Amino acid sequence: MFIGGIRALLLQSLHPLAMAAVAGHSGYRSDPWGRLQRTSYFLAITTFGGAGDAREAIARVRAVHQQVTGTAPDGRPYAASDPHLLAWVHIAEVDSFLRAYARFGSSPLNQAGRDGYVADMARIAVELGVPDPPRTEAELASRIARYRPELAVTSHAREAARFLLFSPPLPLIARGPYWMLASGAVSLLPGWARQMLQLPRLPVTESLLVRPAGHAIVRTIRWATTAPAQAGGQAPQR
């Protein structure tokens, strides 16, 4: 989820209206860890929580979205509650989490498992106001392709990429592990997105360094989050 989350943010930034809303209202630069905490809570409660708790979290997000409106630098109006923008944010997240798990997860998913994940996430999307979200991996790929003519690199997108990849507000000791996660995220971006963000593709470096480093840090995180449960005699949480 760490790697997928970074990839999702980079991909989402390529929609000018979605990025204008993030730049104008999210406070990702002034309070990045607060935003991460809120996003992590939402993902956790909608994935693992009870239906009532999940619906409460979704209702809070929808209420916030109603307040997020404005005008992008190109003069177009935007609203976070716009179903079209909600759909873009949703498919970018689902595609990113699915690809991150396929590359760095503990065990592979077959086609039925991948389609099942997309279908599960569609239930959350519908509650958030996304009309007819994709429910299979093939539908997900087709929907992303449909958005490509709308995508463009803006100054806000470039600033977000620089912030995420090169100047995160972290102490020096944490920057090495974060670099592994961020590099793993970049390696999962489609070629057209990397080209738009001017992120070079280095196949040898990614194969020999980025992927092994990504697997190492993910294994460490997995061990850190499951060890307490195993030590207490409980089954690890997945």
In the chain, what are the domain boundaries? 2-171
* Contacts with 5 (C-beta within 8 Å, 6 or more apart), sequence order: 36, 39, 96, 97, 185
| Amino acid letter for position 151 | L
Q: What is the pLDDT along the chain (238 residues), one digit of tens a residue?
A: 888 989 999 999 999 999 999 988 876 676 666 777 788 888 889 988 999 999 999 999 999 999 999 999 999 999 999 999 999 999 999 999 999 999 988 888 999 999 999 999 999 999 999 999 999 999 999 999 999 999 999 999 999 999 888 888 788 887 888 888 888 899 999 999 999 999 876 554 555 456 666 666 666 666 666 665 555 555 444 4
Residue 201: left if φ>0, alpha if ψ -120 to 50, beta else—which one? beta
C-alpha to C-alpha distances, 116 to 24, 28, 133, 180, 187, nearest whole angstrom: 35, 31, 13, 29, 25
* Contacts with 41 (C-beta within 8 Å, 6 or more apart), sequence order: 57
